[in-house]
Every structure is written in structure tokens, then in C-alpha cells.
Amino acid sequence: MLQEKTRYTPEEYLAREEKADYKSEYYDGEIVMMPGGTQDHSVIAVNITSILNTALERKPCKVMNSDMRLLVSPRGNYTYPDTMIICGRTVFQAGRKDVVTNPIVIVEVLNVGTHEHDWIDKFKLYEQIDSLREYVLIDSERMVTCLLRRKEDTRKWLIEVMNEPTEALVLESLQLEIPLSRIYAKIDFQTDPESDSE
């Protein structure tokens, strides 16, 4: 990820973001440009967002894509998760309609080079969100999906790893089961990009 060296306040970041031609995230004073994604990353992100949106159509839950910004700590760290679910009333950052604060589920599709950042850095931020119940990480380079679920009334998290198309991602907070075969629909990890171009 490309990183600007100058430090900014949260207010300066938000002002710059309103005028920017690309999206950047914000971590403790640093603005970090978001990397571009691969075709598989894009297809998987659309798959999971579409599945969730259809499944929650009759429930009081909203599915948001990576256009919506998330405030992930009181100090003013901001990210753009691939997918967020908010059930009930949306709580926005005070004075804004483009920053939410209360997702119950966050989904990140892992890009080449972002595994450690999404696993460690983002999770350290996301676990501070009181409303968050489940954090899903979907690998875009191989069929592996990880679910971190907050244990009831604690700050501890349980982890589940799925890597077979017959296995299902179980989101207890939404009472949903999603087979990995649907999450990875139209993805062929056997395809050699170089042979496709010949």
C-alpha cells in the first residue's frame, strides 16, 4: 500500500477525501491509499454482498459495499470495508451522513499483499467496535474463508476456518448459512492468466 508521509488530523483527512479521485483509509494521522483489486477480488466482493443483500431483504438490516466509510475508533481511524451489515438504526458519526459507526458484521476480501494488514492491523481496530459481532476474511487467491466471532458478553473472539466448497460460512448474528461454493462462484483458481492472454 502506498502511504503519504505527512500527518493529518481526522478533520483534514475527511476534507481531503471529499475532493479526492480515489479512496484512502486513515490510521493515526496517516492517509493510506487503497490498492487496486484483482478480478477475483472484485467477483468475490460482489458475490458476498449480493448474497447477503438478498438473504436480508425481509430483515431490518442494511448491506453496504465499499463506498461507505466506517469510523473504527474514537481517535478517528477510518476504513472502507468491502461489505458491512447494520441492523436496526444506522448510527452515523456526528454531523455526517457518509460515515457509519455501528456494523454488526464486517467482511474484508483479502487482496494480494493485504493479508497481514486485514488480519492484524484492521482486526485490532475492528474489535474496538462495540456493535461488531462477526468479522469475515475471504481469501481471493485460494478457497479459504475465516470467521472471527465475538464470544457473548466478552472481549474474546472465536475463530473458524473453512476451505471446502461444501462447507458453509455461518453468521450467527444474522442467522445465515452461506456455502463457500456460492461465495467463490465463477472463480477458477486453476486458470493461468498468462495462458488466457495467448
What does the pLDDT look like over 63-80, one tens digit per residue? 999 999 999 976 689 999
CB 118 within 8 A of CB 89: no
Superfamily of domain 36-196: tt1808, chain A (3.90.1570.10)
Tell me the pLDDT tens digit for each residue of 135-183.
999 999 999 999 999 998 778 999 999 999 999 999 999 999 999 999 9
Strands 134-139 and 105-110: parallel
- Grid cell for residue 105: 458484521
Spatial separation of the C-alpha atoms in residues 95 and 187, rounded to whole Å:
41
Query: Which strands make up the sheet holding 69-73, listed edge to edge?
Result: 30-33, 24-27, 77-79, 69-73, 99-100
Of 53, 107, 59, nearest to 87 (Cα)?
A: 59
